Amino acid sequence: MHTAPVKHRIGRRGAALLILGIIWALSGVQDLLHHPGYVPGARLYSAAPWWLQAAGWIITGVIACWSAFQRQGRDWIGWVAVYVMAVFAGAVYVDMVVEAVGTPGLRDAILAGIRNYAFIGLIFVLSGWREPITFDTTDTADREAD
């Protein structure tokens, strides 16, 4: 049985982008289905309409998923897309911390902000990965025998 050769598989970077893209898109869908509306203590979050924020998550998620199937060097737009919404969420958490000073919600706002910025750090590390160089070890005689 002869199968067609795989022209391109996603590597580690592509897999990371695909997973992040799915998370981003589903976050946007969740916001569309169950929009939180006004979040007390989050002026920045409430400044843009909820549907626009949901669209931002979905669009950047789709871009990241599409970029997952691009070769290294051509996938840069997917990494930019995941950074955009992660940095937006980080800014929202910083705003929440500023607004929560002197209230019982300060601890939760700080922990959520730390979690978000750790996630941004993870994205930074993943985007810097280089794909390993692979060599075709299949003998040409083996390929012709198929």
Q: What is the pTM of this model?
A: 0.76
Within 13 Å and on the Cβ side, how many CA atoms surround 79?
19
DSSP 129: -
Q: Which residues lie closer than 8 Å to 102 by C-beta, 6 or more apart?
A: none
Give pLDDT tens digits along the chain (146 positions): 555 554 567 888 899 999 999 999 999 998 888 876 656 556 777 777 888 888 999 999 999 999 999 988 888 999 999 999 889 888 888 888 887 777 777 888 888 888 889 989 999 998 888 877 665 555 555 545 55
Centroid of chain to Cα 17: 6
Phi and psi of 70, rounded to 5°?
-95, 155
